[in-house]
Structure 1
């Protein structure tokens, strides 16, 4: 959690040491500043090298200190950089592996910089809705050049050190060290020990041949690409200040921009999402050091859309996969789809031919359960019907080796019931992938009553390996995401009954920021899926109200894009949603039959009925222990359901609106005779939080 100091001959070496990425926490900053002072006071020391221990130079701010007094405690990052920059002896940054955010800003305060090839260099603050706040917007344009610096700062994406070293006229790196980085840094430190004056990035000029024209062009480009995010344009203005202002004035402009962005709801939402993603990987009663099971081979049952997509995740991660099907034609079709997906990536330049061949070489197929028995993990991706699942899991129980993890990709069914089809319920877990499984980030990990802790720990770690955001859910109908979306869909149906058209509801939701409105989403997923669930609900929960409009639609055979007709009409080979006169007439007749006089409904009412339905159902899930934390719910909706990132998820949005105001809206919705008054009774958790003046977060 600190920094070490040692002297090698006439060079002092300060090594940042705060695992895992040498975050610049208070103790680390204090130790580094003390190291500079110690070297200043040692007459035998001629120069100083700063580097990082382990697998990073520095990843920037210590996220454990975000929002705490320690983040600003002296020496803060500005103060540490000033100590380095004003040191009377040359300071060399020896950069390797990762140099991001405050780590890069610290290195820019050093007099010289050397780097190993392949080091990832970035100022990623824009991804948290912020701009670099310790001189990054002023020093990087001076060291690298205005245009490449602006690209890095506005995108937040890492760039390899050797690529940056090739930028004409750059003064970011003095050398790229191919061999031993520390030896190269020590050699440079001794070489420049007596060179004066010491070069400082702040003394360089940030120049551009046509600054006014360039920045106006950049404003148009950046503004068009970031309309819901204020940070990219603020970053641009700070970089523009590096060209038009003196260094100190540019630093003031950067500081003003940073403080303004800190208060924006967009930055608060992005920071919430950042921490939510990290929190989601933690399971309250499963310690970090829980032993995990080895997963060297995966079997997938079913070669359909889901099975193929699931298989691709493991192939991408270099894990061998065997797919099992009941018929050779189904296997051939599934493998052909996987090939087609990979070939499309090769054609677009996103995948190299040799990588494609390597992945396909890891794939095998079989029609025989006996051939998958040696797999460490098996995932069933068969039809969503409990009898089908039972047949599969009884077979798996017979053939899978002891200790294998048996996973179901069910989206709604009872994982405890599925586990009890086997004699090893401790090895059974839900792994609910979202379609298309090779693209969507979300993985709901469903914890059965008997699921072993090491199974959970293994699946959560494996999720990281296949680049998924895993969120743990308890067992209930629909788990977190689909249980909530049912209430959202019920509200969408009531809105149609009351006078909305599908396109009005969709446009309001999409204007709010959803990737897709509820009716376009239904057409994409298949309206028959919801129909099947409702038929089950009519038996299980006869008192639960639904609009019958979706049933009428399905009775017309309008299942969505797959039938070229759903809530919208579709032309062959196209996905454009065309308003349907057939649907408009159907809704008109439906309202007349129910004696409903349609009314004008505002976009505000549409959005808040949809979103607060999600919030109220999620509060019940939290109360029941199905979801561990409110931020887990937000991760489900940000990564699996197209909720707008800049709003932070439904629970974060409710906090932004204020839970008192959410309850007031619910009371108003409950008075609507065509809605479901019982549903709009605020969940006990919401009532308690309002009474205590608290929020979900």
Structure 2
């Protein structure tokens, strides 16, 4: 976790070595400054090369030091950059694989930069609600030009070094086949520039762009339209403009002031919370990092419906062979046909090459018998959400699957332990709850049963990364984390219909709060019959749990949502737009009268509070029961699986910023109103509020 110093002839080689991405932590920064000073004081050294060990030049700041005194301790990144830029001998950045954030800002201060063609170059600070704070907004426009700098800084997306070869960012793009050859070319470049003077500095360059004001105004309008709740992108443009209008040092200070202001915004804190929460989700209490993993080379999926097909595509996309099992040739062919169509549509959009498309389709095959998948390493059941059906499938799998195969269920609500108890190998059973559409949605709820083996859990968590899912571990309960919470939100949404709202008002209030989609539009998308099935089950298992009857009445009319062209809203063929439905509005008003409720005006604040606080209250109960390991896991589930607004950080982060005592007081108020039986403040929420503590 340092910067290592070597001499290669007259060239000093300083290697950043802080795995996994050579983060610029305090120890590394200190060693780097010491190395540069050592090279400057050695008369035999004529040039200095900064290079990265392993799989990166540098990914920027060391995330382990975020929000700690080490992040700002001297030598700070600013001090490192000043040391490099003011060096009296040429400093060359040798960039490979990854050069992002503070790593790119460091390289921009070097006198020369060489790179491998595929090195990924980015200033991604905007993804944390920030802007580059160590000169990135001032130097990058000088190096690559105004338009490209705006694109890179405002989006934070990486660009391959070879696409920047025509700019002043790189002095050479070096093609190589081995690490030794790469180093040989780098040292040759260093020796070539040893005697050149004056040393070039990006800070001395000017941004030459005719009518920059018009361009930046257009950029602001575009950014404003797409980032309403995110202040950082507009501030990035303000900082970039300073690179044109201000002297360099003045621009640096202006950038720093903007950075510090953004650092204190709730939006940036929420985005940083999400960033760290996503990484923390993979850390599981009681599971050692050294836990062995099972080998997964082939996967089987039971069911070729929308969910099963989407699940299969995840593995094909990662290069893993998949066999889909169905009960009939017609159902199998229909499922495989939809998969082919999905890939062909992606090909038409230019997101896949023909070879990639062909390879992925070839990795997915079909079968009509369980015996055909007996040698699969992992099988995922994606059949109808009915316990008896799933138990029957697992019994069949138990009879044919090879020893050591992992048996996973895609159940979204059912008791995984009951499924596991139906077979002879409960240690091999785990829940893999994908979200629809499974090939698109980022979240994977990994359900750990009472008897799930540690190596099974470790294997699935590692596999989730391979198929590019954000995996969050949940314990066994009805609905796990996500669906257990959303049920309480949907209950409140139904009660609001009884009391005076219409679906479009509720949806609009939640979408203005920042949700991607309101609860009634979401139900129409998922299928209203799914909730109907759950409520029927609840009526038997939990008869005391009350619901509005409007959703049942809707389903009795056959209005199951988008798939039937009618749900809470009306839909037109080929059009996903939700059109208000007079027949539904009339149904709701009539139902209120039938149950003796006098409808009243309901403001948007009450709508948002009742729905969001219902989520928070249930999440507190889930935490107390140990179903979720930590508050950030709950937030990640909702940010990646349910469209909760990122700028609010997730339900429990939002609760923390609102104040837990305020949340508890509001819940107690609603408990005294109509449908108050649905409210009871969770004990954990009360305890934390009384102690003036937070969830996170």
TM-score, scaled to structure 2: 0.98
Question: Residue 556 of structure 2 corresponds to which residue in structure 1?
Answer: 555
Match of 1:177 among 174, 178, 182: 174
Question: Residue 332 of structure 2 corresponds to which residue in structure 1?
Answer: 331
Question: Residue 116 of structure 2 corresponds to which residue in structure 1?
Answer: 116
Contact 1:322 1:364 in 2 (8 A): yes
Question: Residue 97 of structure 2 corresponds to which residue in structure 1?
Answer: 97
Question: Residue 149 of structure 1 corresponds to which residue in structure 2?
Answer: 149
In structure 1, C-alpha distance between the alignment counterparts of 2:559 and 2:22, rounded to whole Å: 56
How far the C-alpha of 1:562 sits from its partner, in A, is 2.0
Question: Residue 466 of structure 1 corresponds to which residue in structure 2?
Answer: 467
What does 1:1-400 align with in structure 2 at a 5 Å threshold? 1-166=1-166, 170-179=167-176, 180-400=181-401
What does 1:437-456 align with in structure 2 at a 5 Å threshold? 437-456=438-457
What does 1:634-645 align with in structure 2 at a 5 Å threshold? 634-645=635-646
In structure 2, C-alpha distance between the alignment counterparts of 1:526 and 1:360, rounded to whole Å: 28
Contact 1:238 1:254 in 2 (8 A): yes
In structure 2, C-alpha distance between the alignment counterparts of 1:45 and 1:136, rounded to whole Å: 29
How far the C-alpha of 1:39 sits from its partner, in A, is 0.5
Question: Residue 683 of structure 1 corresponds to which residue in structure 2?
Answer: 682
In structure 1, C-alpha distance between the alignment counterparts of 2:537 and 2:423, rounded to whole Å: 25
Any idea what SS the aligned residue of 1:669 has? helix
Deviations along 1:525-544, one digit per CA (max 9) or x if unpaired, are 11111111111111211221
How far the C-alpha of 1:458 sits from its partner, in A, is 0.4
How far the C-alpha of 1:680 sits from its partner, in A, is 2.7
How far the C-alpha of 1:450 sits from its partner, in A, is 0.3
Contact 1:376 1:405 in 2 (8 A): yes
How far the C-alpha of 1:563 sits from its partner, in A, is 2.1
How far the C-alpha of 1:335 sits from its partner, in A, is 0.4
Contact 1:322 1:372 in 2 (8 A): yes
In structure 1, C-alpha distance between the alignment counterparts of 2:574 and 2:151, rounded to whole Å: 37
Contact 1:299 1:321 in 2 (8 A): yes
In structure 2, C-alpha distance between the alignment counterparts of 1:293 and 1:159, rounded to whole Å: 36
How far the C-alpha of 1:68 sits from its partner, in A, is 0.1
How far the C-alpha of 1:551 sits from its partner, in A, is 1.3
In the alignment of these two chains, the number of paired residues is 692
Question: Residue 696 of structure 1 corresponds to which residue in structure 2?
Answer: 695
In structure 2, C-alpha distance between the alignment counterparts of 1:127 and 1:365, rounded to whole Å: 41
In structure 2, C-alpha distance between the alignment counterparts of 1:337 and 1:638, rounded to whole Å: 28
Any idea what SS the aligned residue of 1:99 has? strand
In structure 2, C-alpha distance between the alignment counterparts of 1:188 and 1:355, rounded to whole Å: 37
RMSD: 0.9
Any idea what SS the aligned residue of 2:333 has? helix
Contact 1:299 1:375 in 2 (8 A): yes
Indicate the larger mover: 32-41 or 204-213.
204-213
Question: Residue 611 of structure 1 corresponds to which residue in structure 2?
Answer: 612
Contact 1:520 1:577 in 2 (8 A): yes
In structure 2, C-alpha distance between the alignment counterparts of 1:15 and 1:562, rounded to whole Å: 57
Contact 2:343 2:361 in 1 (8 A): no
How far the C-alpha of 1:681 sits from its partner, in A, is 2.5
In structure 1, C-alpha distance between the alignment counterparts of 2:312 and 2:559, rounded to whole Å: 31
How far the C-alpha of 1:181 sits from its partner, in A, is 2.6
In structure 1, C-alpha distance between the alignment counterparts of 2:637 and 2:480, rounded to whole Å: 11
What does 1:496-575 align with in structure 2 at a 5 Å threshold? 496-575=497-576
How far the C-alpha of 1:676 sits from its partner, in A, is 2.7
In structure 2, C-alpha distance between the alignment counterparts of 1:75 and 1:647, rounded to whole Å: 34
In structure 1, C-alpha distance between the alignment counterparts of 2:644 and 2:662, rounded to whole Å: 21
Contact 1:90 1:193 in 2 (8 A): yes
Note if 1:621 corresponds to 2:618.
no
Indicate the larger mover: 176-185 or 156-165.
176-185
Question: Residue 476 of structure 2 corresponds to which residue in structure 1?
Answer: 475
In structure 2, C-alpha distance between the alignment counterparts of 1:407 and 1:146, rounded to whole Å: 51
How far the C-alpha of 1:572 sits from its partner, in A, is 2.4
Contact 1:545 1:676 in 2 (8 A): no
Deviations along 1:47-78, one digit per CA (max 9) or x if unpaired, are 10000100000000000000000000000000
Contact 1:324 1:367 in 2 (8 A): yes
How far the C-alpha of 1:569 sits from its partner, in A, is 1.5
Any idea what SS the aligned residue of 2:444 has? strand
Deviations along 1:309-346, one digit per CA (max 9) or x if unpaired, are 00000000000011111111111001000000000001
Indicate the larger mover: 25-34 or 359-368.
359-368
Unmatched runs of 5 consecutive residues or more in structure 2: none
Any idea what SS the aligned residue of 1:576 has? strand
In structure 2, C-alpha distance between the alignment counterparts of 1:30 and 1:206, rounded to whole Å: 33
Unmatched runs of 5 consecutive residues or more in structure 1: none
Deviations along 1:164-213, one digit per CA (max 9) or x if unpaired, are 113xxx21100011123322221122112122211111111122111111
